[in-house]
Amino acid sequence: MSRVDPKNKSATDIVVIGGGITGVSIAYFLAKRSQRDVFLLERDLLAQASTGLCVGGIRQQFSHPANILLSQEMIGFLRHFEKEFHTKIDFNQAGYLFLTQEQATWDAFHTCVEIQRQYGVPVEILSPEKVKHRWPYLEVENLMGGVFGPEDGYVDPYDVTMAIANKTRQLGISILERTEVKDIRLENGRIRGVDTSQGFISAQIIVNAAGAWGGEIAKMAGVDLPVQPFRRQVFITKAFDAIPRPVPMIIDQDTQFYIRGYAPGILMGMTDLEEPSSFHTHTDRSFLEQVTAAAVERVPILGQAEILRGWGGLYAMTPDENPFIGEIPEIKGFFCATGFSGHGFQHGPAVGRILSELILDGKTEFSLSPFGYDRLKKCEKTTELITV
């Protein structure tokens, strides 16, 4: 495989589309396997879209074993991050606390805990009284209870992604920012290359790691990939010390409201289940009012906090809230790693390793059947029960 002059931009072996955590991780693990003939294409700047705008949560509290395993790998990855990437990151393992008011959700929590414990996840089932004892600032009168994962937490997603990107560059991968993919060329059912805003790039393999744009990229190859973008709005307060640190990621599963620490303030957000799919990322004053109302109901002391600013990011949602990972059967050389439905940051590095194995070895020990392209047609979808 011949080396490619990055300035030429005319040919390579592998094109990775998307400069978020998943795309960067795929390129990194390919480079670690000495596959350096790779172009990583990003339409804007690295980690500026969904990755850079997410809240950086990492949790093992999933209902599907595959998602649990991906998160466990991510936690191990972060524990060795400084040694691997020579960058210090603040992985705040303050935990994840899920709360519920509904009996059906409470029953689902118990089912999920049984699965999680089978995979060695430390998770506690807490009564409302125990929740109140540990986090006195929470209103618990209407709660059935909560579940808490003490190893879970959050980290700055931009810092993590850029450290991986810098190491990837050092390993010889060509990262082309402000390079938009315009079309994908096929020949006899095989990948031929991509047309970009910088010209045509010949390639044998294309990896669609475009996040919320994953469905749009797939269409260029004639593939109907049910990945849709949905806006998620996040707000942070001014410095607020009335809530003692550390503040875990606290999620009210029924209302989809959440908070976590965001020094020196508090980060909060909520999913608007009524909002249609779009690529909009602006923030709405009316929605902020809904978020603050939910905040005061669950965390009354937040009524004293002042909002500093907010932003909008995108979730890449699929019908069963699980991603598509692997090669599209109908097109030789077309791989996907997209549609993570809000879990892309925490699963991106593990998926990068797995997909690099699949590309270079033609196989991987990690079972990708829950994330296969054909699962929805075969009615094999396994909807993730614990979302947000």
Q: Encoding tokens for residue 45?
A: 């700047």
d(C-alpha 56, C-alpha 158), whole Å: 9
Q: Give me the phi and psi of 100, to 5 degrees please.
A: -150, 150
Helices (H), 127-281: 128-134, 157-170, 214-220
Contacts of 193 (CB under 8 A, 6+ apart): 11, 15, 184, 185, 200, 201, 202, 203
Q: What is the pLDDT of residue 273?
A: 86
pLDDT digits 0-9 by tens, 211-252: 999 999 999 999 999 999 999 999 999 999 999 999 999 999
What CATH code is assigned to 93-153+229-317?
3.30.9.10
H or E element: which one contains 68? helix 65-79
Q: Parse the chain into domains and list their residue ranges.
A: 1-92+154-226+320-388, 93-153+229-317
Q: Encoding tokens for residue 102?
A: 């509904």
112: buried, middle or exposed (CB in 10 Å: 19+, 13-18, 0-12)? Answer: buried
d(C-alpha 53, C-alpha 90), whole Å: 17
Q: Give me the phi and psi of 357, to 5 degrees please.
A: -65, -45
Q: Which residues of the chain have pLDDT under 50?
A: 1-5
Q: What is the pLDDT of residue 11?
A: 86
Q: What is the pLDDT of residue 1?
A: 33
The three-class DSSP label of residue 148 is strand
d(C-alpha 8, C-alpha 352), whole Å: 26
Helices (H), 243-322: 285-298
Q: Give me the phi and psi of 83, to 5 degrees please.
A: -65, -40
Q: What is the pLDDT of residue 376?
A: 80
- DSSP class of residue 138? S
pTM of the entire predicted model = 0.94
Q: What is the pLDDT of residue 384?
A: 67
Any idea how long the chain is?
388
Is CATH 3.90.550.10 the right assignment for the domain spanning 1-92+154-226+320-388?
A: no
Q: What is the pLDDT of residue 387?
A: 63
